Structure 1
């Protein structure tokens, strides 16, 4: 285990009885608020869940938080614990990091040739995870740190069942846009047939209650590609289906914390009125973050420091996207042809795969005329830098929210899951970017890279729409997250409902 964030004694004085909150009169009353935050072992899930854990600590100074993901992911995040598994602070530490078991030693090992391996992993994750989390809840109670609320991300519907069995309330933390939450809700509540009938027609328009008309190509890929049992991600589709069944069984109504803000998605939030959906985001990092990927040293920040304002194109396609040699060549060629400086993230695993092909790592690391290539970086720090003027992104929701919060316009290259709808929001709803089109063989060509980058980075009154809109949305997000802003108020509503004993 690991315990961190030992806060100053004035904010986190130790209660006279472990796990019991002291009232103003000094009497022991309700249990000390203790959130168990559970998440799937992917970087795109771990990052927002750990950020929420830290934000809960700030918003509720008397609360405890335990953050938990699988043992394999935990070891990658905190390798130093291999030599000292019981290291950590004492009882005064408010955030504790404890893993749960997914029934495996190594976690899921990606296999492109055996989709059944992923299905088997998801079955193990559900069965072993539920059993292990139940044991974790019991162990925390024995230690005098009883859990009072379970918060879980989207691929853990079983977490709500564990909470119910233990007599605990739970809340879903939705780490995708409210628009995707609304689409999934209506799909699983009477609108599946129209999508199924037209899932091979990307231009067919679908209208879900309360939402703008959507083309099939913009819907979550798990609804258009993964309903077939032979699809690699079919078990994700069934897990999401189970999630909405779980939410429907909550009484009186399910609570869903959404990583968005009211100003960005007011209509979509209204379209999921069956649940108590509380937009509390964007939930951003509050300092250095633990994660599954090791960052390069900070030379890229020195490189950015030497560049003019709004001149750099930042390129990153997240923690899961694969990339063939042809795609990397086209991407770098298009970036070079813009004549602009660029910072491009090419993950270590991608470089290793490509090194087995035509190019060696040495050749790939050769100096580029206009750009710099790194294996991983502090993305929010990069997007916050004055030199960055454009973000070429896969449109994972974390990346989109970070870019909006930093006021950086985007070139969208979506591929799967919610990314296509995220790109639609960026381009059509908020008008802070443009979607790049891939060729018939699925490759983003150099000419399209160049064209879309120039489109969003143009200057002047007639052409700077994306940049102006990005600046305006940044201001709206800052206000929402500030004291008394919409997201701040919603988080406090959630916390006040817990501390007063009301189940939201």
Structure 2
């Protein structure tokens, strides 16, 4: 504790972090949480400055009461939006030419922010790049500002992706269409099935989106090899010890925790979330304490087919337990005039909402399990809340996260889709039984979930936890770098 306080006293008060994130719900809140933590590391008024930059379209959703592109502050961090060339938020065109145009627009806009902050006497001294944003790499190179990568997926996905781009690509590519094939990779405690790899590594659909995501990750790892940036990983040591130990041999890495925070902490919601609606579902949860609730949400990006939604509804009714289901207004692929009838005619055993404060819901004692797409934020929020998980992965790192949930941590099960890619109602009801009944497997899952919750809480303590110590070490490393460099430059 004394050592931590001593390190806090030495943090350079003039540092200004520019944290840049992708404009999705699952990126904005971790980026904002990190920015806020970076400002809180000093003492006696010596805390660093932090500015969060998201695309204009996202900024408008975050602050709908402001003039469209106005910069603002919440009293702790500042917010400065950058244009990605599509300020209406559309994602329709993603061919190579369009990607190049958006990259140029993003780089130019972000460079203008850097220049503007310098003119105001608040020069950016460090850039934090949320995952794979090529334009942020461009800006860091152009301005000679040191950069850290903020990896908001599990360390296991980082290890798998790193080794794919460092010698394992041919082996994995040759078996990409065989989901059962197992590959042994450094840092993994057991062989990993192809079907559990991050989706972008094994996507052979040939779509523009698949190509774009693959190219971004390839460039990302090329950048790491050339520039050796610091990498901030959103996990904690007790959760992924093997993968972290392996990757520390290859990267200048800091394990900074999961940025979950507390259930009462203010969060940014990119979807409508009124106080009246919140009171409605929280009051409903409070009335269910004697019968554990099944909470269902597939995140802020995924859309479900009407057929899949019908099966989910069928499975929830079949299990006979109360449920809270999040169904966004844009959450169905084949929307029609009747697609939201479920919201208006929910079965008496359940409640359907457009959006909710997920961490507050997961922290409620009435919630007994979480049916999820298993994005990393949702996964780690469930772990931090001690809630068993039924994972139904779709894209990105989600298959790897479900592997961790089921096979590494033992805090849940995977819901298997049928040959048409649909999770049937019968399969969903089976999975709910596996984690919520009184059988030996369900009891073991719940006990393991409680144990991981305790580990997460210990690692995430604001002072003295392992995550806080690593973040302090990151900032102190920057301080040491400042003492031998009079001008910002890339760490080499």
Is it true that 1:224 corresponds to 2:199 in the alignment?
Answer: no
Where does residue 33 of structure 1 map in the other structure?
Answer: 15
Where does residue 72 of structure 1 map in the other structure?
Answer: 57
**Other structure's SS at 1:411 match:** strand
Within the candidate set 232, 235, 254, 1:260 is matched to 235
1:442 Cα offset (Å): 0.8
User: Residues 409 and 470 of structure 1 are in contact (CA less than 8 Å); yes or no, is this contact kept in structure 2?
Assistant: yes
CA separation in 2, counterparts of 1:200 and 1:185? 20
Where does residue 273 of structure 2 map in the other structure?
Answer: 295
CA separation in 2, counterparts of 1:478 and 1:362? 40
Alignment of 1:100-499 (within 5 A): 100-109=82-91, 111=92, 117=94, 119-211=96-188, 212-225=190-203, 230-250=207-227, 253-272=228-247, 273-285=249-261, 287-296=265-274, 297-298=277-278, 299-308=280-289, 311-350=292-331, 353-356=334-337, 359=338, 361-362=340-341, 364-459=343-438, 463-482=442-461, 483-499=463-479
Report the CA distance shift for 1:160/1:361 in structure 2 as closer, same or farther (over 3 A): closer
What do residues 219-248 of structure 1 show as CA deviations (whole Å, max 9, x unaligned)? 01111115x654532101100100011111
1:353 Cα offset (Å): 4.9
User: Residues 40 and 156 of structure 1 are in contact (CA less than 8 Å); yes or no, is this contact kept in structure 2?
Assistant: yes
CA separation in 2, counterparts of 1:371 and 1:121? 44
**Other structure's SS at 1:348 match:** coil
1:123 Cα offset (Å): 2.6
Where does residue 82 of structure 1 map in the other structure?
Answer: 67
What TM-score do you get using the length of structure 1 for normalisation?
0.87
User: Residues 34 and 145 of structure 1 are in contact (CA less than 8 Å); yes or no, is this contact kept in structure 2?
Assistant: yes
> Per chain length, whose mean CA-contact separation is higher, i.e. which structure has more relative contact order (CA < 8 Å, sep 6+)?
2
1:83 Cα offset (Å): 7.0
User: Residues 157 and 246 of structure 1 are in contact (CA less than 8 Å); yes or no, is this contact kept in structure 2?
Assistant: no
1:310 Cα offset (Å): 6.6
What do residues 361-409 of structure 1 show as CA deviations (whole Å, max 9, x unaligned)? 3464213121000010000000000000100000000000000000000
Report the CA distance shift for 1:462/1:102 in structure 2 as closer, same or farther (over 3 A): closer
**Other structure's SS at 1:50 match:** helix
Report the CA distance shift for 1:88/1:232 in structure 2 as closer, same or farther (over 3 A): closer
User: Residues 403 and 409 of structure 1 are in contact (CA less than 8 Å); yes or no, is this contact kept in structure 2?
Assistant: yes
CA separation in 2, counterparts of 1:309 and 1:125? 52
CA separation in 2, counterparts of 1:152 and 1:80? 27
1:351 Cα offset (Å): 5.7
User: Residues 125 and 145 of structure 2 are in contact (CA less than 8 Å); yes or no, is this contact kept in structure 1?
Assistant: yes
1:321 Cα offset (Å): 1.0
What do residues 230-285 of structure 1 show as CA deviations (whole Å, max 9, x unaligned)? 453210110010001111111xx321101100100111112222111211111114
User: Residues 57 and 87 of structure 2 are in contact (CA less than 8 Å); yes or no, is this contact kept in structure 1?
Assistant: yes
Q: Which moves more between the two structures, 458-467 or 263-272?
A: 458-467
Where does residue 63 of structure 1 map in the other structure?
Answer: 48
Q: Which moves more between the two structures, 270-279 or 174-183?
A: 270-279
Where does residue 487 of structure 2 map in the other structure?
Answer: none
What TM-score do you get using the length of structure 2 for normalisation?
0.89
1:210 Cα offset (Å): 2.5
User: Residues 131 and 151 of structure 2 are in contact (CA less than 8 Å); yes or no, is this contact kept in structure 1?
Assistant: yes
Q: Which moves more between the two structures, 53-62 or 296-305?
A: 53-62
CA separation in 1, counterparts of 2:327 and 2:442? 31
User: Residues 73 and 79 of structure 2 are in contact (CA less than 8 Å); yes or no, is this contact kept in structure 1?
Assistant: no
Aligned residues: 465
User: Residues 39 and 68 of structure 1 are in contact (CA less than 8 Å); yes or no, is this contact kept in structure 2?
Assistant: yes
CA separation in 2, counterparts of 1:421 and 1:429? 10
CA separation in 1, counterparts of 2:333 and 2:135? 36
1:418 Cα offset (Å): 0.5
CA separation in 2, counterparts of 1:284 and 1:461? 30
Report the CA distance shift for 1:414/1:146 in structure 2 as closer, same or farther (over 3 A): same
